[in-house]
Structure 1
């Protein structure tokens, strides 16, 4: 028996593939490679423990490859929150429509276990911080957040209608080696272009929770091993937060650029759909016996060093 990872050549997906192989699993990666990179899993491909099917989930021809799988880890998605406010259709197609197609393929082939990577943005501008999984009302402020919440609802319906089990993980900002987007990636790119000035979107006071990717993957496996309800929803994040200006300070320190001037674009929001304050309550997964070892500041420094090393 093997596992399937959609988006398995991407940032979190490739780290998940690493962990599954380390646990003795054979893995089928389905990835269009529009954002992921095959080099991230090249060693596993060479060993024969991992196969890759380069296909878009919105096309046909991949569905039968799921037959006989033990679990589908559905990570493939369009993660661009800012772009979703300008052109919503790709977010709808790559998140909601693709998830429906994965669920249908699972139903047809009798695959009962699904892991889905959701997001803290389903909570919108929560008034309770840290925000627990039972927080209401869920009012996303971005098309991206809305698409992930729609996927959660669809997955829940399939679980209760067709006897499936799901683990849905609402992530804080997951960062680390192989990341291709986010504030750290943006800052590194900007500072490589101009070492004298750094543009910071908003007022730099946006404060959020960050968690290093290896801790995230570890938490996913732990929650799966210790919860067996039809629908299992968990927040995954650190137990603290850090503001954007402090992230810039860490990057400038690591790049040895003490003379950099910050230029703020102004306003509490970095972009349309941004959530300026976010920290997730992780009491539910802590109740099972897992808790993060790293805080946001430590996670950011690890991710900054990985980005500067080209990882």
Structure 2
């Protein structure tokens, strides 16, 4: 590629993708998107969305051969990538059989990480999930707020697949330091534990649950604006670190008008709670690690 920085984003359906394809600060970035489904707006030359700002290549991420070929070169369209953002997954329990969801998500993550290892691609950001904390939280958390150090308690095939994905990331980082396994540099793999991703136009629906905290207790009333999720991805790509790092990506506030302390008292009575700061609606999903390590700070709030 002739660009100064080029990256692949796998998973066109992810809400954050449309935003992450927009460079936040001036620089030349070519985004190549891999997905099984081609949007209706895609043109014949593979350019799609955002005024043709990124290229879409149709592949099946559960097919290792297709993943390797796509990350390596597609005829004269492009050659090689410098970084990978892996967002592809079958999300949300109930969209397919549990076994299909688990097998698809794990196979695609393995294929992407293994292809990156073979090709020496060492800058990788991938979507993990807040569901690792035990969502839908029918079993109350041991304490609040939730942090990256909280116990990982997957309760669905989807969240279990995300736990396997993070385990794979840990081992691929370890392998990347072994010269007989890795042709490139030691890897950086960042797992983004995104909270419930929301688009700006969805804020109008937030009134629907304000009368009953139990309508949204299942993830500690967390969310993240898609634009802030995209900024977290950009910062993660730019961060000069090695190893595997997991980050909770959540807004600074909950999606409720009710104060956080009152929410905990009503829904999780008896659970120890130490607020992150003195804002009455402070998040119960700690984003402090992402702030400190990535320099990230969400800017878009449902209630300015």
State the TM-score, normalized to the length of structure 1. 0.68
SS at match of 2:118: helix
The answer to whether the Cα contact below 8 Å between 2:123 and 2:237 also exists between their aligned partners in 1 is no
Structure 1 runs of 4+ with >4 Å offset: 36-41, 200-203
Deviation of 1:33 (Å): 1.6
- The equivalent of 2:29 in structure 1 is 25
CA separation of 1:92 and 1:244: change in aligned 2, threshold 3 A: farther
Deviation of 1:296 (Å): 4.9
- The equivalent of 1:265 in structure 2 is none
CA separation of 1:217 and 1:120: change in aligned 2, threshold 3 A: same
1:76 aligns with 2:82: no
1:285 aligns with 2:259: no
Whole-angstrom distance in 2 between the partners of 1:91 and 1:64: 24
Q: 1:169 aligned to 186, 192, 197, which one?
A: 192
- The equivalent of 1:61 in structure 2 is 66
The answer to whether the Cα contact below 8 Å between 1:45 and 1:51 also exists between their aligned partners in 2 is no
Whole-angstrom distance in 2 between the partners of 1:43 and 1:140: 34
1:150 aligns with 2:164: yes
Q: 1:241 aligned to 249, 254, 270, which one?
A: 254
1:213 aligns with 2:226: yes
Cα RMSD after superposing both structures: 3.5
The answer to whether the Cα contact below 8 Å between 1:175 and 1:213 also exists between their aligned partners in 2 is yes
Q: 2:146 aligned to 131, 138, 145, which one?
A: 131
- The equivalent of 1:204 in structure 2 is 215
Alignment of 1:86-125 (within 5 A): 87-124=97-134, 125=137
Gaps (5+ residues) in structure 1?
188-197, 246-267, 269-277, 299-311
The answer to whether the Cα contact below 8 Å between 1:69 and 1:111 also exists between their aligned partners in 2 is yes
Q: 2:56 aligned to 47, 52, 76, which one?
A: 52
Say which is worse superposed, 64-73 or 13-22, in terms of deviation. 13-22
Deviation of 1:147 (Å): 0.9
The answer to whether the Cα contact below 8 Å between 2:67 and 2:112 also exists between their aligned partners in 1 is no
Deviation of 1:184 (Å): 5.3
CA separation of 1:29 and 1:223: change in aligned 2, threshold 3 A: closer
Deviation of 1:10 (Å): 3.8
SS at match of 1:11: coil
Q: 1:232 aligned to 233, 239, 245, which one?
A: 245
Deviation of 1:95 (Å): 1.0
Gaps (5+ residues) in structure 2?
73-79, 177-185, 259-266, 268-282
Whole-angstrom distance in 2 between the partners of 1:32 and 1:122: 26
Whole-angstrom distance in 1 between the partners of 2:301 and 2:12: 26
Deviation of 1:178 (Å): 8.9
Partner deviation per Cα, 1:164-212 (whole Å, 9 max, x = no partner): 2111111111110698xxx959x8xxxxxxxxxx9x9995252511221
Whole-angstrom distance in 2 between the partners of 1:43 and 1:205: 32
